[in-house]
Amino acid sequence: MRRPVIAGNWKMHKTIAEAVELAGALKQAAAGIDHADFIIAPVFTALATVAAELQGSNLKLSGQNCSDKSSGAFTGEVAPQMLLDAGCSHVILGHSERRQLFGESNDLINAKIRAALTAGLRVIFCIGETLAERETGRMYDVLSEQVTQGLAGLSEEQMDRVIVAYEPVWAIGTGKTATSDQAEEAHSFVRGLIAGQFNLQVSEQLRILYGGSVKPGNVDELMARDNIDGALVGGASLNADDFIRIMNFNGTN
Ligand SMILES: O=C[C@H](O)COP(=O)(O)O
């Protein structure tokens, strides 16, 4: 049985004060629920302050990105060790916005994943096809490349600290969610890839989250599917009521 994960990616939103207020509300809500792991990913500048707010909470803290280097003359970068230092247990890597807007390649994402795992972080590794890739029948090739190259060289022990998030790019921030059938099909394909690249046990233990316009109104249906182990939520994670409803999903698989 895989323990579900509900993660909120706050992207480039919220001041430190706003982040602490939202984290405080979520901390209170999370205290009463034990059916999943809960993770929030505020902006870098709010991490340490939010970490202090989350003391004693079952809500975990994540960075939204990190460098593949541990220190040095890399202006504007943040090392994995620095995320740990700020109170993070997780980091999101390979998000489609990083791939598309900042030109991150599968190789760079692989280097970041290795660096993050070596430092002791857990990784939420994002993959997903664009609409053009889906419509031209390249979806499976794209997912296959992202998984194979992104997770190249990782050990079984390291895979224990990796969560995959399948986020079809066409569903992110568009209000257009993949149907639960489309998501289940992609998740099942990804689990098969992991079985081939590692082994059956690693693939059975891997938690695969769905991301892309997850809302209070569709989370239960998604969470009810066999291969959907959680959600990576963008827009709806910025509102306490919406995210608390998502944390309280009803689906069973
Ligand atoms: O990381 C989260 C995803 O990009 C989903 O964002 P969204 O829920 O706003 O579609």
User: What confidence tens digit (pLDDT) does each residue in 161-186 have?
Assistant: 999 999 999 998 888 888 999 999 99
Give the pLDDT band (50/70/90) at residue 252.
Answer: low
- The atom number, within ligand 1, closest to the CA of 213 reads 10
User: Rounded to an integer, what distance in angstroms lies between the CA atom of residue 126 and that of residue 211?
Assistant: 9
- Please give the number of the atom of ligand 1 that sits closest to the Cα of 214: 8
Binding residues for substrate: 9-11, 173, 213, 234-235
Residue pLDDT, tens place only, 123-162: 999 999 999 999 999 999 999 999 999 999 999 999 999 9
pLDDT band at 5 (very low <50, low <70, confident <90, very high): very high
Q: Which atom of ligand 1 is nearest to the CA of 236?
A: 8
The predicted model gives 36-65 an average pLDDT of 98
Mean pLDDT value across the chain: 97
Site to substitute for ligand 1 among 233, 238, 242, 246, most atoms within 8 A of C-beta: 233
How many degrees, rounded to 5, is the angle at CA 241 between CA 237 and CA 247? 65
Q: How far is the CA of 211 from the centre of ligand 1 (A)?
A: 6
Ligand 1, atom 2, residue with closest C-alpha: 234
How far is 207 from 55, CA to CA, in rounded Å?
25
Smallest CA separation from ligand 1 atom 3, residue? 234
**Tens of pLDDT along 88-98?**
999 999 999 99
Lowest-confidence region among 2-11, 170-179, 208-217, 229-238 = 170-179
Residue 32, pLDDT score: 84
Measured CA to CA, the distance from residue 105 to residue 251 in angstroms comes to 35
**Which of 169, 214, 215, 219 to probe ligand 1 with, by most ligand atoms within 8 A of CB?**
214
What's the rounded mean pLDDT across residues 72-101? 98
237 CA → ligand 1 middle, Å? 9
- Report the pLDDT value the prediction gives residue 154, as an integer from 0 to 100: 98
Q: 111: closest CA among 96, 125, 128?
A: 125
Which residues have C-beta atoms less than 6 Å from ligand 1? Answer: 9, 95, 167, 172-173, 211-214, 232-236
Say what the ipTM of the complex is.
0.99
Catalytically active residues, by annotation:
95, 167
> CB-based contacts of 105: which residues, under 8 Å, 6+ apart?
99
CA torsion, points 154, 114, 98, 238, in degrees to nearest 10?
90
Give residue 173's pLDDT.
Answer: 84
Kindly list the structural domains of the chain, giving each domain's residue range(s) and its CATH number in brackets, ordered by start: 5-247 (3.20.20.70)
Q: What distance in angstroms lies between residue 152's CA and the mean position of ligand 1's atoms?
A: 25
Query: What number does the ligand 1 atom closest to the CA of 97 have?
Result: 4
pLDDT at 35 over 80: yes
Average pLDDT, integer, range 10-21: 98
Task: Show binding-site residues.
Answer: 9-11, 173, 213, 234-235
Task: Output the pLDDT for position 177.
Answer: 82
Ligand 1 centroid, distance to 72 Cα (angstroms): 32
* Per-residue b or e along 135-161, where b marks 16 or more CB atoms closer than 10 Å to that residue's CB: eeeebeebbbebbeebbeebeeebbeb
Residue 249: alpha-carbon gap to chain centroid: 17
Distance 175 CA to ligand 1 centre (A): 10
> Contact, 215 vs 242, CB < 8 A?
yes
Asked if the model's pLDDT at residue 253 lies above 60, the reply is no
Least confident span in 1-5, 170-174, 201-205, 220-224: 170-174
